[in-house]
Amino acid sequence: MNDPLAPIRASLRRRVGGWAGMDLPAIRADFATYLTEVGPEGAALAQPREAVVAGLPVVWIGEPSAPPGLYFHGGGFQIGGLASHAGLVARLARATGMRLLLPAYRLAPEHRYPAASDDALAVYRAMLDTNQAPQALLGDSAGGALALLTALRARDAGLPLPRALILLSPWLDLSLSGASYEALAPEDPFSKPAQLRAMARSYLGREGPSVQDPRVSPLFANLDGLPPVLIHAGGSDITLDDSRALHQQMYGVTLRIHPGMCHHFQVFEALPQADASLAEIGAWWRAL
């Protein structure tokens, strides 16, 4: 049987294999380079406009006159940033017709919990304060957790909420309790359980909360009173059970599972499923 992920498996093995001899700044830079290589169209499309919001470096991507949205990048709270995710954000901006703000929130282990979550909420508040209320919160993997956590914290603070959340392969359970973390590990080339556990430890540190604390794993939070949620995940996505659980536990969640696709597959422009996913996201958003 033809495996559409075979080239991705090979390229990821080569890339990640080279990280063994690198320090963390070098890994972050190489990760950004890799996502640019597998997403050249988006990288060329992005044309990011730099700014500072809530004291953080950010970029705006998309038509300046378009309605605003807020995107949180993935990377296990440890890698990822403006360079790595600008291409994907540009393609999402085109698909949805939004202009998306992409912040460089603080990363672990230099900045452990609650730095990332606090930065995410601070950017959201700053956008509200400048009359640029995000129409949607978006994110992939760990960024999906930040999008959901930001909506929860905004709800609890009595702040205006966005119209919707759009999550790509969200990592919502840092305890990895879902069966997919073990069952799909052989199929997903992007992440492995040991890697995710190490990233969770790096983010939380010794003094941080439990991995099951709803402040870090929003799957265990009270999910009442939130706007509609769209989730796109892969059928071979190691975090798939997080998406399924949110779909079961929360009213107003639309879940789309793309058969055979891995975690965060939308970054791989060579996959026709990546374009299909973004087109479906755009259609869902416009119909909302």
Interval 151-173 mean pLDDT: 98
Instruction: Say how far apart CA 150 and CA 62 lie, in whole Å.
Output: 22
What is residue 173's predicted lDDT score, i.e. its pLDDT? 98
Q: Mean pLDDT over all residues of the chain?
A: 97
Q: Which domains does the chain have, with CATH numbers?
A: 8-13+22-287 (3.40.50.1820)
Cβ atoms of residues 112 and 216 within 8 Å: no
In this prediction, what percent of the chain has a pLDDT beyond 90? 93
Residue 13 — pLDDT band, cuts 50, 70, 90?
confident
- Of how many residues is the chain composed? 288
Residue with tokens 């049987």: 1
What is the per-residue pLDDT across 103-136, written as a single tens digit (0 to 9) for each? 999 999 999 999 999 999 999 999 999 999 999 9
pLDDT at 198: 96
What is the tens place of the pLDDT at every residue in 46-69? Answer: 999 999 999 999 999 999 999 999
Burial of 257 (0-12, 13-18, 19+ CB in 10 A): middle
* pTM metric for this prediction: 0.98
What is the full DSSP assignment across 202-253? HHHTTTS--TT-TTT-GGGS--TTPPPEEEEEETT-TTHHHHHHHHHHSTTE
Q: Which residue blocks in the chain are alpha helix, DSSP H?
A: 6-18, 24-38, 40-46, 82-96, 115-129, 142-156, 180-183, 193-204, 240-249, 272-287
Q: Looking at residues 76-93, what average pLDDT do you find? A: 98
pLDDT surpassing 90 at residue 21: no
Question: Please, are residues 18 and 247 in contact by the beta-carbon 8 Å criterion?
Answer: no
Q: What is the pLDDT of residues 221-276, one digit of tens each?
A: 999 999 999 999 999 999 999 999 999 999 999 999 999 999 999 999 999 999 99
Confidence of residue 1 (pLDDT cuts 50, 70, 90): low
Distance CA 204, CA 215 (A): 11
Average pLDDT over residues 150-165: 98
